[in-house]
Amino acid sequence: MIKRELAIVEQKYFGSKLTQMPEFHVGDTVDVHVKIKEGEKERIQIFNGVVISKRSRGATATFTVRRIVNEEGVERTWPTLCPNITKIDVRRRGKVRRAKLYYLRGRKGKATKVTELRQRRGPAVETAK
């Protein structure tokens, strides 16, 4: 009962933001466009990396993106409905067999690569003559 009421409230207040989010999964390589405020100026910074975890759903959902900078792993976790996120671009779809990719933390170099998911094309549509 409480979950149903909570879903109604979330849909009322966050409905448009929930529908604007692109569909992405664990293992996908994404670009997260984040608003950064420096003094009185505001700019957009792109954080690109692999999604290693997604948690929950609705207003409390979060996701974690990991990337390597100067041979050092950097992870950032954002709420899915964060107002500082302007856009999320999915660069590559990843083929993974785990819900959380924490095992990538202990890997270096090419071992951190996630296999790309190849999209299958549907059957060719023939036109009737």
Instruction: Domains for the chain: give ranges and CATH numbers.
Output: 2-104 (2.30.30.790)
Indicate the pTM of the whole model: 0.79
Name the least confident of 3-7, 69-73, 118-122.
Answer: 118-122
Average pLDDT over residues 55-74: 89
Of 83, 14, 81, 24, nearest to 53 by C-alpha is 24
- Reported residue count of the chain is 129
* pLDDT tens track for 14-40: 766 666 778 899 999 999 999 999 999
Cβ within 8 Å of residue 90, ≥6 positions away: 22, 23, 24, 28, 29, 30
* pLDDT tens track for 80-110: 888 899 999 999 999 999 999 999 998 888 8
